[in-house]
Chains A and B, each alone.
Chain A
Amino acid sequence: MENNKYLREEIIRESGVNPKKCMKCGKCSATCPAYDEMEYHPHQFVSMVESGDIMPLLNSESLYKCLSCFACIERCPRGVEPAKLVEAVRLSAIRKQGENRMTANDVPALLDEEIPQQLLVSAFRKYSK
């Protein structure tokens, strides 16, 4: 529990998000293009971070399904910015030792003429230390 409280504060501080501003309208999840891919949806991230229930989020694949398209940030009527929370939880997961989601060695296998290089660059930025 103590650990959770520390995690919660860390994530709130790093993301700069105030989850208390959320009015639970669900517009973030309504707008999310990766909704069906995700186990925990943007509105759940906001609610679970607020209640300190962060371990399930840290272990969830949802962290890597978020497209970082920021549609939820754009549409949120209360200015809560859920994608920033997802980002902060993801950072907290991959910052642990040995927890890089993607390393330089993975890149050649992913190279494909169809994929824009920028996508790989941003994926590399998002998924590794």
Chain B
Amino acid sequence: MQRVGVFVCWCGSNIAGTVDVEAVSEALKNEPGVVFSTNYQYMCSQAGQDMIKEAVKEHNLTGIVVCSCSPRMHEATFRKTAAAAGLNPYMVEIANIREQCSWVHKDIPTGTEKAIILGKAAVAKVNLNTPLTPGESPVTKRALVIGGGIAGIQTALDIADAGFPVDIVEKKPTIGGKMAQLDKTFPTLDCAACILTPKMVDVAQNENIRIFSYSEVSEIKGFVGNFDVTIKKNARFVKEDICTGCGACVEKCPMKRVPNEFNLGMDNRSAIYIPFAQAVPKVATIDPNSCNMLKNGKCGLCAKVCAAGAIDYTQKDEYINEKYGAIVVATGFNPISMDKFDEFSYNQSKDVITSLEFERLTNAAGPTAGHLERPSDGKSPKTIVFVQCVGSRCDACAEKGKEYCSKICCMYTAKHAMLVRDKYPDTEVYVFYIDVRTPGKNFDEFYRRAVEEYGVKYVKGMVGKVTPEGDKLKVQASDLIEGKQLHIDADLVVLAAAIEPDKSARPLATMLTASMDTNDFFTEAHPKLRPVESPTAGVFLSGACQGPKDIPETVSQAGAAASKVIGLLAKDKLTGNPCVAHSNELMCNGCSSCERVCPYGAITYEDKEFRMPDRTTKIRRVAKVNPAVCQGCGACTVACPSGAMDLNGFASNQIMAEVDAICK
């Protein structure tokens, strides 16, 4: 039999205002196992904790019930108190008589009655508590960053800076991501490449960082501290360690009419290519879908001109196995497809472009060498219409678009409009907006400058339709302030397309057993207090894979994710949570129900030999829980049809005892 002590907290007037704490401690005195019961103003204060410690010694307590606030607040505090008094910390139970009682009830009799019932349930549970000891597992001191955009780059640099080795896996031939495609960055208007490429070079030169470009993660096994990852290195048909990036092959390649992804298809590249001048690694890649040599064995020019002899047409995909202690997801975003937005004639006219395409059109390294020219005829546009919120903030039931605000569009549109007016002052620039959302340091000032100093015409209203007519784009739109319908003959229409997570995120989340929201953004462990951690232990989030973000925010989140990774890798051993599931092998019938419901992939099956009563042996398939991966959610205990699964600290008999105590 346990010797239980009950400690009822007043929480100032938070609890004592609606609950007669004296009556609660008095009533709980008579519960089975209770040898001591008291109440105090602030149980979590030093004096309150000392009171618990003394009572443990004086009354030889083996279990403690604290009737106080939510266990999310002070369970850890009271566990430490118990440990300091020589008890196993898992012999403490909390009855939540604040959030679940005093805060939700108005009159004292009801509040008191419920507090007593909750206290009885906790006493009934603690009577069945057993001391628990957390397990330990080792930590592989190496991190994996998936995605080589600015988020992945910053995370990798910060982790490497702390002295831990990091691998970056990037599916494109070069790191750099979306930021490498941008022209200028708001709100300071420094050129994106000027601030990004030094970081890319840092990554290349850092001894702690390895880059797997043109590669994908194909399999992830294991758990926090001990991930086992298979990386698929796609064949680029060029020996990475030999290629000098001189570009002779690119020049000589006769297959020059392949749409250039880096410039969003607005110009062409050759079949063997280096995405851009500052690519890291600066290595050529052969596109197997357009290379004549790979398709029908004719050509081979690049191999002939390569002085280093780096071309290898027989290269195969390579699989690399590596162990990691932590994984950072930095898979980034893409603008959504404009196919469903017929009203803007994106597919009808070359002069209706997305904002990312506009970035390339104004970039000195872009298809027009930075001169703003219409994609259709190369003329310089005299009237430009920017449309905001294309596909953002749509109804959840709508067939097209996203429900969320894409967050970055207001600022980059202000930037585009400002840059156009600055470089080509005789251009008329309209921005159609629903709301201008510019929270951020120096952001609203930036937008106001576009209006006041650069004379960008901001119109409150939406564009209804764009019709190509001759060499003009007829724009029909609302001006809600002036109460007019506007008809503008534009030369160029720029759509601020909503952004969505990269398509690779969903299969990756499945591999990681990390959770996602309905928009395929990764979910954080807590939206406010744990914003860079996934609920899956050892998996961290960086950048736009978690939600729309601009560069400053991405970089700060990348640093935060890195610090979490460093905190993890700095440990030699990880202490687990002992409240995990375990399977009773004698009762398990090997049905796999628990394996299917486990959101963390903690359950595996093994064939085990059992000695039968007649002294023969029999091999049976039984469930096995990996305590380092299990998060103690309890889904398996409910799914198990034979009652073999149970959860430490929340055993079925403990839960039933609580229910019995409440219903008594």
Q: Which stretch in B275-283, B305-313, B388-396 binds the other chain?
A: B388-396
B395 engages A43 (CB within 8 Å): no
A30 engages B401 (CB within 8 Å): no
Q: Which stretch in B126-134, B286-294, B462-470 binds the other chain?
A: B462-470
Say if the beta carbon of A65 comes within 8 Å of chain B: no
Given contacts A31-B343, A75-B343, contact A21 B478 (CB under 8 A): no
List chain B residues, Cβ under 8 A from A76: 395
Cβ contact of A30, chosen from B394, B395, B462, cutoff 8 A: B462
Of the candidates B401, B460, B464, the one having the most CB atoms from chain A within 10 angstroms of its own CB is B464
Query: How many angstroms from the CA of A25 to the CA of B391 in the assembled complex?
Result: 13
B485 engages A24 (CB within 8 Å): no
List chain B residues, Cβ under 8 A from A71: 464
Say if the beta carbon of A77 comes within 8 Å of chain B: yes
A24 engages B478 (CB within 8 Å): no
Given contacts A30-B485, A77-B401, contact A24 B343 (CB under 8 A): no
Say if the beta carbon of B398 comes within 8 Å of chain A: yes
A77 engages B393 (CB within 8 Å): yes
Query: How many angstroms from the CA of A96 to the CA of B478 in the assembled complex?
Result: 34
Question: Can you name the residue of chain A whose Cβ is closest to the Cβ of B477?
Answer: A30
Question: Can you name the residue of chain B whose Cβ is closest to the Cβ of A36?
Answer: B485
Give chain A nearest CB distance to B402 CB in angstroms: 10
Query: Contact mask B358-401 → A, CB, 8 Å, 1/0?
Result: 00000000000000000000000000000001000111011001
B465 engages A31 (CB within 8 Å): yes
A30 engages B389 (CB within 8 Å): no
Give chain B nearest CB distance to A30 CB in angstroms: 3
Query: How many angstroms from the CA of A26 to the CA of B389 in the assembled complex?
Result: 12
B463 engages A30 (CB within 8 Å): yes
Query: Contact mask B66-100 → A, CB, 8 Å, 1/0?
Result: 00000000000000000000000000000000000
Query: How many angstroms from the CA of A21 to the CA of B397 in the assembled complex?
Result: 12
Say if the beta carbon of B244 comes within 8 Å of chain A: no
Say if the beta carbon of A16 comes within 8 Å of chain B: no
Query: How many angstroms from the CA of A77 to the CA of B478 in the assembled complex?
Result: 15
Say if the beta carbon of B461 comes within 8 Å of chain A: yes
A31 engages B389 (CB within 8 Å): no
Question: Can you name the residue of chain B whose Cβ is closest to the Cβ of A44?
Answer: B483
B394 engages A77 (CB within 8 Å): yes
Say if the beta carbon of A78 comes within 8 Å of chain B: yes
Cβ contact of B485, chosen from A21, A35, A75, cutoff 8 A: A35
Size band of the interface chain B makes with A: 20 to 34
B434 engages A24 (CB within 8 Å): yes
B395 engages A24 (CB within 8 Å): no
Q: List A32-67 residues whose CB lies under 8 Å from chain B.
A: 32, 35-36, 41, 43
List chain A residues, Cβ under 8 A from B248: none
B398 engages A27 (CB within 8 Å): no
Given contacts A29-B478, A30-B485, A31-B343, contact A23 B464 (CB under 8 A): no
Cβ contact of A24, chosen from B397, B476, B480, B483, cutoff 8 A: B480
Give chain B nearest CB distance to A82 CB in angstroms: 12
A29 engages B485 (CB within 8 Å): yes
Query: How many angstroms from the CA of A36 to the CA of B462 in the assembled complex?
Result: 17
Cβ contact of B397, chosen from A23, A26, A79, cutoff 8 A: A79
Given contacts A30-B478, A30-B485, contact A25 B343 (CB under 8 A): no
B401 engages A27 (CB within 8 Å): no
Cβ contact of A77, chosen from B389, B477, B480, B485, cutoff 8 A: B389
Query: How many angstroms from the CA of A129 to the CA of B532 in the assembled complex?
Result: 62
Cβ contact of B462, chosen from A26, A35, A41, cutoff 8 A: A26
A21 engages B395 (CB within 8 Å): yes
Given contacts A32-B464, A36-B485, contact A27 B394 (CB under 8 A): no
Q: List B103-160 residues whose CB lies under 8 Å from chain A.
A: none
List chain B residues, Cβ under 8 A from A28: 464
List chain A residues, Cβ under 8 A from B483: 41
Query: How many angstroms from the CA of A28 to the CA of B460 in the assembled complex?
Result: 13
Question: Can you name the residue of chain A whose Cβ is closest to the Cβ of B459?
Answer: A26
List chain B residues, Cβ under 8 A from A78: 393-395, 398
B480 engages A43 (CB within 8 Å): yes
A26 engages B461 (CB within 8 Å): yes
List chain A residues, Cβ under 8 A from B343: 31, 75
Query: How many angstroms from the CA of A77 to the CA of B434 in the assembled complex?
Result: 11
Query: Contact mask B231-273 → A, CB, 8 Å, 1/0?
Result: 0000000000000000000000000000000000000000000
Question: Can you name the residue of chain A whose Cβ is closest to the Cβ of B460?
Answer: A26
Cβ contact of B464, chosen from A21, A24, A31, A36, cutoff 8 A: A31
Query: How many angstroms from the CA of A35 to the CA of B397 in the assembled complex?
Result: 27
Query: How many angstroms from the CA of A80 to the CA of B394 in the assembled complex?
Result: 11
Question: Can you name the residue of chain B whose Cβ is closest to the Cβ of A77?
Answer: B394
Give chain B nearest CB distance to A72 CB in angstroms: 9
Cβ contact of B476, chosen from A21, A30, A80, cutoff 8 A: A30
List chain B residues, Cβ under 8 A from A32: 464, 485
A26 engages B395 (CB within 8 Å): no
Q: List B450-491 residues whose CB lies under 8 Å from chain A.
A: 460-465, 476-478, 480, 483, 485
B480 engages A26 (CB within 8 Å): yes
Give chain A nearest CB distance to B608 CB in angstroms: 56
Of the candidates B394, B478, B480, B483, the one having the most CB atoms from chain A within 10 angstroms of its own CB is B478
Query: How many angstroms from the CA of A78 to the CA of B434 in the assembled complex?
Result: 12
List chain A residues, Cβ under 8 A from B394: 77-78
Given contacts A35-B485, A77-B401, contact A26 B478 (CB under 8 A): yes
Question: Can you name the residue of chain B whose Cβ is closest to the Cβ of A72?
Answer: B464
List chain B residues, Cβ under 8 A from A30: 461-465, 476-478, 485
Contacts A/B (CB < 8 Å), 12 sampled: A23-B393, A27-B462, A29-B464, A30-B465, A31-B343, A36-B485, A76-B395, A77-B394, A77-B395, A77-B462, A78-B395, A78-B398
- Top 10 A-B pairs, shortest CB-CB distance: A31-B464, A30-B464, A26-B478, A27-B462, A79-B395, A30-B478, A26-B461, A25-B434, A35-B485, A25-B462
Other contacts beyond A78-B393, A78-B398: 11, CB < 8 A: A23-B434, A25-B462, A27-B463, A29-B480, A30-B461, A30-B476, A31-B343, A75-B343, A77-B395, A78-B394, A79-B398
Which residues on B are within 8 Å of A, measured CB to CB?
A: 343, 389, 393-395, 397-398, 401, 434, 460-465, 476-478, 480, 483, 485
